[in-house]
Chains A and B, each alone.
Chain A
Amino acid sequence: MAEERRGSWFGFGFCGFGQALGSGRGRQVHSPEPLATPGPGADVCRVSASWSYTAVVTRERPSPPHFRPRPGGVVRPPPSQPSAPAGGGQLQLSGAADGAAGGCRDAWASEALLVVLRAGPADGPGPELQAWAPGSALRGEPLWTHTLVPEAGREDAAGGEPQARALPLLPGARAYVSPRPPFYRPLAPELRARRLELGGEHALLLDEAGQVFSWGQGRHGQLGHGTLEAAREPRLLEALQGLPMAEVAAGGWHSVCVSETGDIYVWGWNESGQLALPTRSLAEDGKTVAREAGRPNEGDSDMRTVGSEDGAPAPFIAIQPFPALLDLPRGAEAAQASCGSRHTAVVTRTGELYTWGWGKYGQLGHQDTTSLDRPRRVEYFVDKRLQVRAVSCGLWNTYVYAVEKEESGPPQPRA
């Protein structure tokens, strides 16, 4: 069995509070840089970025992640983020909030609240959920705590994904944590949640069967039910029925999901092109879609362009109220997606990273601050011969986990 090379994390975008990105100089980074905190060589298993600070969880001691093919024999790429160690690792904050703590399995950063999942003792009460004021530097007492039921079997549950269920979804998937009161929010058990993502004013849930549910505000179309109405309870995305999803991601006012076959679906607000649909704001700045000067992108022929052959202007889409299928260049298949407040990042199965949407703070990683309403590959990783494995967006920045490319041959199936 081939041993997975340790990868490392990179970041780009807004770092006006001195958070973990790059060298820590300046307020913005426009091209990927290795993380300054916790430093090269650290075994980071979770990056959660809020607007003014970033939380990073590293393992106490290195251990190779487990790989296993999904039941049914379909080989998938290695898990996007190495699983959190059962005993809990080290949590480090950087930016407007600082501090560190041990025994942490997971962390979730927001401006109002830092949520930490502390490992419980092996045979005692279960893990403890703690909510801290970000400015507390993890000293003193948390704002509130909640002891969870010790779950039977953790990441090694038969048939389960090696990837831990991440905050804000709580282990056991019976509830999730919210940055606004009430902080502890139960989920109906029949939902069988696998992943939960919180947007600016909505929530997305992916269940064990690959179905997507949404609830919250709908005025920007982010719920995907075809209307602008709000939903108080989780409501099934009927437009996606029959298409099992593997990943979901929620931005400020938009939603993205990735199917098991590698297709991307987007819906919600497109004001900065975050849905990769033509947007009026960029057209008026003369920036929409064009064949850009400089590096040509192969495979552009299957990209939608603004302006059809007869010169009639293509319709601009401000709000997309139900899922739309999005094609990446070169027919690339998606593996994982993450959203900032107004931008989108997607990792492909072949280890490329595509970004689009709002780019004012360099969060797209294309060495400039222009916004884009179509996907563009982040060439840094191609140039450095790095395979991107995971992406995690803060509001205005993007964190990427990548490993060095293998020298030869296609990826081998791993036992």
Chain B
Amino acid sequence: MAEDNHEPLAGASALREALWALLPPTKEELVPELGEEVEAGVARLLREAAALFCGGRRSACLQASEAVLDYSWEKLNTGPWRDVPKDWRRVYALGCLLKAACLCHEPGDAPAVAEALRVCDMGLLMGAAIHGDVLLKVAAVLQAHLPAGKRPGPAQEQPSTKKARNDGVSVPDVASERQVPRLRCPSLQHFRKQFLAPGRPVILEGVVDQWPCMTKWSLEYLQEIAGCRTVPVEVGSRYTDEDWSQTLMTVNEFISKHLRGESSDVGYLAQHRLFDQIPELKRDISIPDYCCLGDGEEDEITINAWFGPRGTVSPLHQDPQQNFLVQVIGRKYIRLYSPQESEALYPHETHLLHNTSQVDVENPDLERFPRFAEAPFLSCVLSPGEVLFIPVRYWHYVRALDLSFSVSFWWS
């Protein structure tokens, strides 16, 4: 039901009721017990914000929530991310929840609801789950109350026929390179014995044919489902470049600026757990059956979205888990080097980049990296419907030949 901006009161009270139903009713329930890491000052301010919210003091609650957010943001940026105490991420998420709820308190207009949704997304991206994933539910409610969303440009526009940023970008002469073998729906035992156990790459065909994403996903569909959601985007050719940076924008902005538009910057929605953030998209994908051959639980599998224009590059690197790379839209050129060749790939010496090669695969500096020329590799062009198995710690280099959407599954 589309919201009419000229009648804010009617829609807004329905929105408020829907939100109130999701939130814990008392201030004691809003703010759970927090560990010792969370200092007394900020814990007190968070409880005060909750009390203000329950007392209907929106403006004061917004002020207090803002300070809680700014303070916990600093904690989230202190020390390695994996060492950030979960309680700080909970505090951040609680701050987001209160702020988003306050922004919708008054008869809202679309910008306030859009801002509240952005705040929810920040809580989902950086916070930890609170109150049974309430931020997911709040986001869904807010999204339902937003106008159907502006679509930049005509809906029928095919972005792949638009003038590409780097016209004349080369399609590699794959035929002259040793190819990754292809198999159609191998049995679990065959896959385990011939590829998983010995750590050999393979392309699996026919495995994801029935996944809804294969037929449903398009730029229009993604904008409809997730257009106003805020996502992290990497800007810059590759993450080893000096001018590489990460930023946040809505899916609509990302598509219009980096996929349809003529932006001189390459923008890549890369390595993002989009399906945790937007459960509706998760229904369009599944988990490859072969993951059951691993040791871990299904809910430990990390699912990442990789969505970007032609020309995105992931420099040659290795990951600490097994990987199924499912290609949904567009084609990718991928090169694979065995871990046994690691020395010939000249990994960076810094701790930060020790899993990344210094060599630019398609334009190697053979004076600095002479052994690279002799290192054997496999390559392929991965097309929609195909799944590439990248064994653990297998070096891989990826370049998008078209506007591309891939889904990766990291499992052990």
Contact A52 B42, beta carbon cutoff 8 Å: yes
Residue B67 is within 8 A (CB to CB) of chain A in the complex = yes
Contact flag A201-B351 (CB < 8 Å), given A52-B42, A134-B41:
no
Contact B245 A27, beta carbon cutoff 8 Å: no
- With both chains docked as a complex, state the minimum distance between the C-beta of A62 and any C-beta of chain B, in angstroms: 33
Residue B158 is within 8 A (CB to CB) of chain A in the complex = no
Of the stretches B73-81, B148-156, B168-176, B203-211, the one at the interface is B73-81
Q: Which residues of A contact B367 (CB under 8 A)?
A: none
Contact A51 B63, beta carbon cutoff 8 Å: no
Q: Which residues of A contact B45 (CB under 8 A)?
A: 16-17, 52
Contact flag A200-B78 (CB < 8 Å), given A16-B67, A229-B351, A318-B245:
yes
8 A Cβ contacts from A216-230 to B: 217, 219, 227-230
Residue B40 is within 8 A (CB to CB) of chain A in the complex = yes
- With both chains docked as a complex, state the minimum distance between the C-beta of B69 and any C-beta of chain A, in angstroms: 11
8 A Cβ contacts from B57-89 to A: 63-64, 67, 70-71, 74, 77-80
Residue B363 is within 8 A (CB to CB) of chain A in the complex = no
Contact A27 B67, beta carbon cutoff 8 Å: yes
| Dominant secondary structure at the A interface | loop
Which of B63, B78, B350 has its CB near the most chain A CB atoms (within 10 A)?
Answer: B78
Residue A9 is within 8 A (CB to CB) of chain B in the complex = no
Total A-B pairs in contact (CB under 8 Å)? 63
Determine the distance from Cα of A393 to Cα of B51 in the docked complex, in whole angstroms: 30
- With both chains docked as a complex, state the minimum distance between the C-beta of A229 and any C-beta of chain B, in angstroms: 6
Residue A112 is within 8 A (CB to CB) of chain B in the complex = yes
Q: Which residues of B contact A341 (CB under 8 A)?
A: 74
8 A Cβ contacts from A185-230 to B: 200-201, 217, 219, 227-230
Contact B40 A134, beta carbon cutoff 8 Å: yes
Residue A111 is within 8 A (CB to CB) of chain B in the complex = yes
- Give which listed residue, A16, A17, A229, A253, contacts B77 with CB less than 8 A: A253
Contact B70 A360, beta carbon cutoff 8 Å: yes
Residue A254 is within 8 A (CB to CB) of chain B in the complex = no
- With both chains docked as a complex, state the minimum distance between the C-beta of B412 and any C-beta of chain A, in angstroms: 27
Chain A interface size band reads 20 to 34
Q: Which residues of A contact B63 (CB under 8 A)?
A: 16, 27
Residue B197 is within 8 A (CB to CB) of chain A in the complex = no
Q: Which residues of B contact A315 (CB under 8 A)?
A: 243
Contact A14 B39, beta carbon cutoff 8 Å: no
Contact flag A219-B44 (CB < 8 Å), given A27-B63, A201-B78, A201-B79:
no
Residue A172 is within 8 A (CB to CB) of chain B in the complex = no
Contact B41 A219, beta carbon cutoff 8 Å: no
Determine the distance from Cα of A23 to Cα of B163 in the docked complex, in whole angstroms: 61
Q: Which residues of B contact A112 (CB under 8 A)?
A: 39
Residue A252 is within 8 A (CB to CB) of chain B in the complex = yes
Contact B245 A51, beta carbon cutoff 8 Å: no
Contact B41 A96, beta carbon cutoff 8 Å: yes
CB closest residue in chain A, given B37: A112
Given contacts A51-B41, A200-B74, 18 further A-B contacts (CB under 8 A): A16-B45, A16-B64, A17-B41, A52-B44, A134-B39, A134-B40, A135-B40, A217-B78, A217-B80, A219-B352, A229-B351, A230-B351, A252-B74, A252-B77, A253-B77, A315-B243, A318-B245, A396-B70
CB within 8 Å of A: which residues of B?
A: 39-42, 44-45, 63-64, 67, 70-71, 74, 77-80, 243, 245, 350-352
Kindly list the 9 A-B residue pairs having the minimum CB-CB distance in the complex, ordered from nearest. Answer: A52-B41, A111-B39, A96-B41, A135-B40, A200-B78, A201-B78, A16-B67, A111-B41, A201-B79
Would you give 27 A-B contacts (Cβ < 8 Å), ordered by A?
A: A14-B67, A17-B41, A17-B45, A27-B67, A50-B41, A51-B41, A51-B42, A52-B45, A95-B41, A96-B44, A111-B42, A133-B40, A134-B40, A134-B41, A135-B40, A200-B74, A217-B80, A219-B352, A227-B350, A228-B350, A228-B352, A229-B352, A252-B74, A252-B77, A252-B78, A360-B70, A396-B70
CB within 8 Å of B: which residues of A?
A: 14, 16-17, 27, 50-53, 95-97, 111-112, 133-135, 200-201, 217, 219, 227-230, 252-253, 280, 315, 318, 341, 360, 395-396
